[in-house]
Amino acid sequence: MTTIVDAPWFYWAVGVAVGLPVCLVTLTELHNALLRRDSVLARPVHLVRNYILPLGALLILLVQGMQISGETTPVRIVATVFGFVVLVLLLSGLNATLFQGAPEGTWRKRIPSIFLDVARFVLIALGVGLIFAYIWGANVGGLFAALGVSSIVLGLALQNSVGQIISGLLVLFEQPFQLGDWLETPSGSGKVVEVNWRATHIDTGGGMLIMPNSVLAAASFTNFSRPPSTHSLSVDTVFAVDDPPDDVIRMLNRVAAMLPQLRAGSAPGSVHLGAVRYSTSIPLASPADDYSAKTQFLRWVWYASRRAGLHLDEAEDEFETSERLQTSLRIIAPTLRLNRAEQEALLPYARLARYGTGEYLQYAGDVPRRMIFIVNGCVSLVAAASDGVHIPIRTLEAGDFLGQTALTREPVPASAFALDEVTVLLIKRDHIEELTARKPVLLQDFGHAIEERRASVQRALAAAGE
């Protein structure tokens, strides 16, 4: 007599009854752990737990437990669904393990999406073919042969177009540039704003340049953004042959160091190219700053060269005339309490200078050697916070002054830069000391100004939470 233990379905049924709950609990805990770690493997485990495991258990029960033939339609339907889910798991698992978790900079991370799409299509075609061949008994060999012949014919007909696409895909795979990089190509230069399987879109500043990837693959181009933090702008200038080269180089470096586009932690450099030519190398964070940095540098050099007595483009500066000096002294006379005779006496010791918009007249922490009196234009007085942000204190206009701590040999508490073109009168410390020695009230005025500026800086920093 045959017992139930000897039945062919018994062990299969017991295995499913015990194994299915254990595997479901195990996979549930594993899935929750992967979710907490935000792992890319959570989705494949979810597919196994919710679909593959139950379908596999059902298929075992139908074929082994209930002894239903695999040729019946219900079994084939369950097997087909199981095969499709396994195919989805295969695609999801390969994508998660090979590409989603790939480290930055590796070939797996750089591979173009179209390659992945083609690979998925091939796997799906093979999977569907195997399902129909082994489960439904379909003859898929003829279909694959027909597809192969059709592909050859289509490839021969479109070999030029396909060749261009493949060349472009190879460029994408190598990735010699990324979004945001600056390229110089035979057709133009600009910033890469879009890259797809067919073309690269470059913003030239005057329009959008659409470069087929096949053209880039066959041509040479320069990537100004690779390697990072190496881009520099070179600006050439011309000075008079009698200008001392060392003085010119110091002035050029000083102006370049003030540029807001200068890359953090870098320093500009200038060289004498011989005769009257000089070249200044300005490190920048991005080629996008080239135009603004060059125009601002050349504008500031125009003002700085005249203040330094140098001759940019071999030109003479005829701004400082006796009439302008007298007019300027009359403007600042109330500030210095000067009468007509004292103005005439101070005339030989005063100098006129001009600053361009954005140029700094003084930096916080510097010990001035002269006083600066504003004749025309506006100057912003600012304090620097710990994070480098400028905190406005006040705006100085005609008749105001800077550098009053030249009398006490103390650092100035605030920086000052020109809001527009500013004309100033410069008087050295010695002559200011002579004036204050004759005018004790003037010394008191400067003392009050020093204390008032220091208090203003402290109030501004306190208001900013410094």
Q: How far apart are the C-alpha atoms of 119 and 466, rounded to whole Å? A: 58
213 and 258 co-located in one domain: no
Does residue 455 fall inside a structural domain? yes
pLDDT at 98 over 70: no
198 and 298 co-located in one domain: no
- Give residue 95's pLDDT: 73
Does residue 350 fall inside a structural domain? yes
Which string of b and e fits 360-373 if b means at least 16 CB within 10 Å? ebbeeeeebebbbb
399 Cβ contact partners less than 8 Å away, ≥ 6 residues apart = 331, 332, 334, 335, 373, 374
42 and 21 co-located in one domain: yes
- Give residue 3's pLDDT: 65
pLDDT at 194 over 50: yes
Q: How far apart are the C-alpha atoms of 235 and 314, rounded to whole Å? A: 17
Tokens at 137, concatenated:
């008994």
Does residue 211 fall inside a structural domain? yes
Tokens at 157, concatenated:
């007909």
Q: What is the DSSP letter of 351?
A: E
288 and 199 co-located in one domain: no
197 and 302 co-located in one domain: no
Higher pLDDT, 94 or 412: 412
Q: For residues 52 and 82, is the Cβ–Cβ distance under 8 A?
A: yes
**Structural domain of residue 196, as residue ranges?**
175-223
- Give residue 1's pLDDT: 45
Residues 423-446 have pLDDT tens digits of 999 999 999 999 999 999 998 999
Q: How far apart are the C-alpha atoms of 432 and 410, rounded to whole Å? A: 15
Rounded average pLDDT over 248-259: 96
- CATH label of the domain that carries residue 192: 2.30.30.60
pLDDT at 399 over 80: yes
- Domain boundary residue among 307, 338, 361? 307
332 and 457 co-located in one domain: yes
Torsion of CA 126, 128, 133, 137, to 10 degrees: -170
Does residue 251 fall inside a structural domain? yes
Q: How far apart are the C-alpha atoms of 416 and 405, rounded to whole Å? A: 14
104 and 15 co-located in one domain: yes
150 and 16 co-located in one domain: yes
Helix residue spans in 37-158 (DSSP H):
42-47, 53-60, 73-94, 107-110, 113-134, 141-157
Per-residue confidence band for 158, with pLDDT thresholds at 50, 70 and 90: very low
250 and 214 co-located in one domain: no
126 and 217 co-located in one domain: no
pLDDT at 227 over 60: yes
- CATH label of the domain that carries residue 244: 3.30.70
8 and 150 co-located in one domain: yes
Q: How far apart are the C-alpha atoms of 313 and 317, rounded to whole Å? A: 11
Per-residue confidence band for 378, with pLDDT thresholds at 50, 70 and 90: very high
Torsion of CA 279, 285, 286, 290, to 10 degrees: -30
Rounded average pLDDT over 55-75: 78
Does residue 165 fall inside a structural domain? no
- Ordered DSSP codes for 214-239: HHHHHS--EETTSSTT--EEEEEEEB
pTM over 0.85: no
Which phi and psi angles does 43 have, rounded to 5°?
-70, -45
pLDDT at 281 over 90: yes
Per-residue confidence band for 4, with pLDDT thresholds at 50, 70 and 90: low
Q: How far apart are the C-alpha atoms of 427 and 348, rounded to whole Å? A: 10
436 Cβ contact partners less than 8 Å away, ≥ 6 residues apart = 407, 442, 443, 446
Does residue 161 fall inside a structural domain? no
302 and 350 co-located in one domain: no
Does residue 27 fall inside a structural domain? yes
pLDDT at 70 over 50: yes
- Give residue 51's pLDDT: 82
Does residue 92 fall inside a structural domain? yes
- Give residue 20's pLDDT: 80
- Give residue 129's pLDDT: 78
Per-residue confidence band for 67, with pLDDT thresholds at 50, 70 and 90: confident
Tokens at 21, concatenated:
């709950």
Number of structural domains (the chain) is 4
Q: For residues 276 and 264, is the Cβ–Cβ distance under 8 A?
A: no
pLDDT at 323 over 70: yes
Higher pLDDT, 285 or 244: 244
